[in-house]
Structures are given as C-alpha cells and as structure tokens.
C-alpha cells in the first residue's frame, strides 16, 4: 500500500499498473493531466489479512488540487499471486 501511495506522489503510472491485478487494471491512469494532484500524507488505519493470499487495507490519503485540501478514505482489496501483492479494487467511503 505504501509503495503504491509513493508511486502516486511520483507519478509512476508504470509501477501502479504493474501492481494492479490484471482482472481490474485500467489501460492507463493519466496521472500527469491537469489539474495535478499533490499528495501530502498517508495514514494506514487498518490492515487485515483474510488468508495467505487476500488482504484488506483501510487508509486515508491527504492531497491538494489547485491548493484546496481533500481527503480520500478507501478500503482496498489486495491479492497475492506468485509471491507478489496486487491491488484489486477499493471502496471510497
């Protein structure tokens, strides 16, 4: 989760897509389009591992767009395949 947040801050679309599960991966993210999002903080609220290959991460990310602060609260689902974790989907609350 933290590595994906860092990838968002660095506009590393390649890393984000590589760590996104193929079953739900978009073709692109267009992170560098205006208005740019400035990520300013991440707080992982909860981590639960359902079994050896499935986990849930709840987090709050803080960001700014055009100088205005926002919060994103998400509960994300991850799966592990071939010893690598992949983001599957998230519910923004």
Position 33 scores a pLDDT of 84
Position 34 scores a pLDDT of 75
Instruction: Give the span between the Cα atoms of 76 and 5, in whole angstroms.
Output: 12
* Sheet (strand 54-65) strand order: 37-51, 54-65, 68-81, 84-92
Position 7 scores a pLDDT of 96
- Which residues of the chain register pLDDT less than 70? none
Question: Which domains are delineated in the chain?
Answer: 2-92 (3.10.450.50)
Q: What is the pLDDT of residues 26-50, one digit of tens each?
A: 999 988 887 889 999 999 999 999 9
**Is the pTM higher than 0.85?**
yes
């Amino acid at each position: 989760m933290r590595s994906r947040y860092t990838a968002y801050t660095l506009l590393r679309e390649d890393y984000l897509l590589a760590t996104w599960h193929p079953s739900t991966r978009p073709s692109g993210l267009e992170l560098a389009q205006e208005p740019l999002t400035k990520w300013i903080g991440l707080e992982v609220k909860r981590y639960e591992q359902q079994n050896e290959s499935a986990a849930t991460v709840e987090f709050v990310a803080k960001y700014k767009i055009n100088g205005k602060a926002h919060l994103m609260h998400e509960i994300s689902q991850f799966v592990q395949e071939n010893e690598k974790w992949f983001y599957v989907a998230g519910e923004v609350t």
